[in-house]
Amino acid sequence: MKAEIHRLSLGICNCYVIKEEGVILIDAGPPHQKVKFLKKLKNLSIKPEEIALIFLTHGHWDHAGSVNELKKLTGCKVAVNRYEKEWVEKALKTIPPGVNLWGRFLSQVMKILVPFAKFSGTSVDLALENEEFSVEPFGIQGKIIHTPGHSRGSMSLLLDSGDAFVGDLAMYGFPKLTRNAMPLFAGNPDQVKESWMKLLKMGVRWIYPAHGRRFKANELKKLL
Ligand SMILES: [Zn+2]
């Protein structure tokens, strides 16, 4: 059975619903996305309680802002890297540094605006280690691997089909003028490239970023 991949745009974040034997949600979007989420899920004919896991690619506010609401709706487990468990549980609003002019500008804007965003934290059920974590128990043929660089605890979900969901390890066409994969923000840009190499070595074919559109993994090679 081939996994179905559904992009669910919640605010500025592309979340993804993966359906195979089971259903998992990748990222939970910025705060206050509950109504939109329910509507989009209904369009897919998926019930909230079918979702067994929310995997947060990392703990930034635009990925974890609605995790409390969505966890209550679905009754599922929440997984994030152990370095960012506290961010999610305490709803900390960590802002990453920009890597270019656009990124630095937006990072400054976020520093001013994000502290006003109101959302609650939620308990993390699975504090992921840096080793591979199989999602087979959740009915999906794939694994989560540690791909730091955007943040220390950034992780990616790789399906056996060669599709990779990388959170903010790459952005493509975001903002619209951007034509390469380097994310606008990164705590450690060199580490971003190391993580790209890791993905390429693992034979990833398509990259699904949380901002922008999906692209062929070969695009990453242009910047290595
Ligand atoms: Zn981020």
Q: What pLDDT sits at residue 173?
A: 78
Cα(96) to ligand 1 centroid in Å equals 7
**pLDDT one-digit tens code per residue, 35-44:** 999 999 999 9
Q: What pLDDT sits at residue 178?
A: 64
- Give the dihedral of Cα atoms 95, 56, 87, 62; nearest 10 deg: 40
Q: What pLDDT sits at residue 160?
A: 97
Q: Give the DSSP H or E segment for 100.
A: none
Cα(140) to ligand 1 centroid in Å equals 24
Long-range contacts of 44-48 (CB under 8 A, 24+ apart): 44/6, 44/17, 44/19, 46/17, 46/19, 48/73, 48/74, 48/75
Cα(89) to ligand 1 centroid in Å equals 16
What amino acid occupies position 189?
A: P
Alpha helices, DSSP H, located in 66-100: 67-74, 85-89
Cα(211) to ligand 1 centroid in Å equals 9
Cα(78) to ligand 1 centroid in Å equals 17
Q: What pLDDT sits at residue 120?
A: 94
**pLDDT one-digit tens code per residue, 123-140:** 999 999 999 999 999 999
* Class of the CATH domain delimited by 4-223: alpha beta
- The three-class DSSP label of residue 40 is helix
Cα(1) to ligand 1 centroid in Å equals 32
Two tokens, residue 144: 């989560």
Q: What is the 3-state secondary structure (H, E, C) of 124-186?
A: CCEEECCCCEECHHHCCCEEEEECCCCCCCCEEEEECCCEEEEECCCCECCCCCCCCCCCCEC
Cα(46) to ligand 1 centroid in Å equals 27
Mean pLDDT value of segment 15-26: 98
